[in-house]
Amino acid sequence: MAETITLSVARYRPEEEAEPTVQTYEVPYRKDWVVLDALNYIKDQLDGSLSFRWSCRMGVCGSCGMTVNGEPKLTCAVFLSDYLPGPIRVEPLQYFPIVRDLVVDISDFLEKLQKVKPWIILKEEKPLSEGEYRQTPDQLDTYKQFSMCINCMLCYAACPIYGLEPGFVGPAAIALAQRYNLDSRDMGAQERLDILSQKGGIWDCTFVGECTKVCPENVDPAGAIQQYKLAGAAHWFKSLLLPWGAK
């Protein structure tokens, strides 16, 4: 059994380097260690200047997403044993500007997420005296899968369309828009469809499917986008037949 394993870690310190470089570290091999444990060992024991994001270490917060041996992964969810005998290459997520080392700038994603209005839209709120907006278990099941997104952005790093067309709203934002479209309490589906039918929206997706493949929560953003396209096509067809009632 290996006593150590090699990590090749991307480094980028803008005050020192014009381009990212690679630095190699030898870390202890522990069968129960995940890649994030190895990065924390480097940070604590070998090189305190290494920068990366993490929070919960439980696959819930989504902040420790990085590229591990060329694939977008949550580093708290992949074991060192998965990559024996090594080395393990750890890099920042693709297609996002690098702030420092393994830290990327997520501003573009946050702006696009807000653009699709991922919240319940009501035309008119009912009085409190009428009680809660209730749902049946079946109504919850309709959108529950798409509500599991943890905003880890692995799907963006895996999406070649986002890499080629930075204006593309992207899989996670569209999946979350669909989550609210399918919510029985929501009345904003038309507003979101108007936004996502424009350039950079649902029609930019060519259905490569990598977004669903890398999703750690099985959200299936590719499926959400196809549902959205079907709804958009149905709305367009309806507008041809019933132009006065398409809305």
Tell me what pLDDT residue 243 has: 63
Q: What is the pLDDT of residues 202-228, one digit of tens each?
A: 999 999 999 999 999 999 999 999 999
Q: What is the pTM of this model?
A: 0.91
User: Is residue 60 exposed (0-12), middle (13-18) or buried (19+ Cβ within 10 Å)?
Assistant: middle
Q: What is the pLDDT of residues 152-191, one digit of tens each?
A: 999 999 999 999 999 999 999 999 999 999 999 999 999 9
From first CA to last CA, the distance across the chain in angstroms is 65
Domains, the chain, ordered by start: 4-104 (3.10.20.30), 107-241 (1.10.1060.10)
Cβ–Cβ < 8 Å for 2, 26: no
Single out the residue of 14, 39, 12, 13 nearest to residue 28, CA to CA: 39
Q: What is the pLDDT of residues 121-142, one digit of tens each?
A: 999 888 889 999 999 999 999 9
pLDDT at 10 over 90: yes
User: Is residue 100 exposed (0-12), middle (13-18) or buried (19+ Cβ within 10 Å)?
Assistant: middle
